Amino acid sequence: MATAVSSRFEVVDVAPKIGSAIHTDKATLLSGERAKDIREIMERRGVIVFPEINLTDDEQIAFTHTLGTFAHEDGEGAKDGKDSVYPITMDSSINPIADYLKGAFFWHLDGTMSEKPILASIMSARALAPVGGETDFCNTYAAWDELPADEKTQIENLKVIHAMWRSQLYWKPEPTFAELEAWMARGSNTLPLVWKHRSGRQSLVLGATALEVEGMGTAESEKLLVKLRTWATQPQFSYRHTWKLGDMVIWDNTGTMHRALPYDHKSGRLMMRTKLEGEEAFA
């Protein structure tokens, strides 16, 4: 005999051009029965908030699996075949490479050093800073769509060289030579400024790793990149998430940028992140 299932699943937009909140329950999320809807909303709205859903680490891993291919952190997890959540914190006793995460305080998308960036990140708030620590998101599809036509024509075929070291200079403008060399060992990656997705939609590819526009002089390149970042991060394309304990947020990494707002690095703020493997190369 079929059992009647009544599951809550209410979708409310949180900003005009980016972000929806889904009010639901753990069982609905873990069942996977709404996975297709969540994928569709994520692509269309960029960011989804699950207010105070309070998933445990294991539940977050299980939920991530319902949406796509679970992405392991570099070299970690895959070794013992176990999936794991990744701690985002400035506490180096919890995350030994906490310093490296400081690039996240500036607008970026994840995975600009790979051909196929991760599809999405899923982050849960486990401990909050008393002040600050919000996460900003902007919709790079909407930012492209609303650029004036003549500007679109000027930039649509440009390529941008991305390098991880550029984003590290944001938080450490005077590294030692050894630090710079270590960052530079990650190499660089040349990406289209305008990503033409399989869906037919287009988005801007910008962020803190954007070093220079290929074939353009340094000053002109910097002007264009700053102009476009300023454009894409305007309030009408953005959503600022003020975290509550137990909130979980998922964002489409391929059509958004994000950044953390400053907070006391000794506050104990702790987020747990999982990721979905990329499904489409920059093109």
* Nearest-approach distance from CB 27 to Fe ion, in angstroms: 30
173 Cβ partners below 8 Å, 6+ apart?
none
- Name which of 104 and 205 has its Cβ closer to Fe ion: 104
Judged by CB under 5 A, which stretch of 18-26, 28-36, 110-118, 124-132 contacts Fe ion? 110-118
212 alpha carbon, distance to own chain's centre: 21
Coil/strand/helix, residue 31? helix
Buried residues in 137-160 as b, exposed as e (16+ CB within 10 A): bbbbbbbbeebeeeeeeebeeebb
Query: What is the Cβ-side half-sphere exposure of residue 179, based on CA atoms within 13 angstroms?
Result: 12
The encoded tokens of residue 26 equal 């753990």
* Nearest-approach distance from CB 105 to Fe ion, in angstroms: 10
* Nearest-approach distance from CB 108 to Fe ion, in angstroms: 6
Length of the chain: 283
Coil/strand/helix, residue 252? strand
Judged by CB under 5 A, which stretch of 44-52, 85-93, 103-111, 154-162 contacts Fe ion? 103-111
Residues in binding contact with Fe ion, number by CB under 5 A: 2
* Nearest-approach distance from CB 9 to Fe ion, in angstroms: 28
* Nearest-approach distance from CB 253 to Fe ion, in angstroms: 8
252 binds Fe ion (CB under 5 A): no
CA separation for the pair 94, 223 (Å, rounded)? 39
CA separation for the pair 254, 117 (Å, rounded)? 7
* Nearest-approach distance from CB 8 to Fe ion, in angstroms: 30
The encoded tokens of residue 32 equal 């996977």
91 Cβ partners below 8 Å, 6+ apart?
98, 265, 268, 270
- Name which of 17 and 258 has its Cβ closer to Fe ion: 258
Closest residue by beta carbon to Fe ion? 110
Judged by CB under 5 A, which stretch of 6-14, 100-108, 111-119, 265-273 contacts Fe ion? 100-108
- Name which of 83 and 110 has its Cβ closer to Fe ion: 110
- Name which of 34 and 241 has its Cβ closer to Fe ion: 241
110 binds Fe ion (CB under 5 A): yes
212 binds Fe ion (CB under 5 A): no
- Name which of 147 and 208 has its Cβ closer to Fe ion: 208
* Binding site residues, Fe ion, CB under 5 A: 104, 110
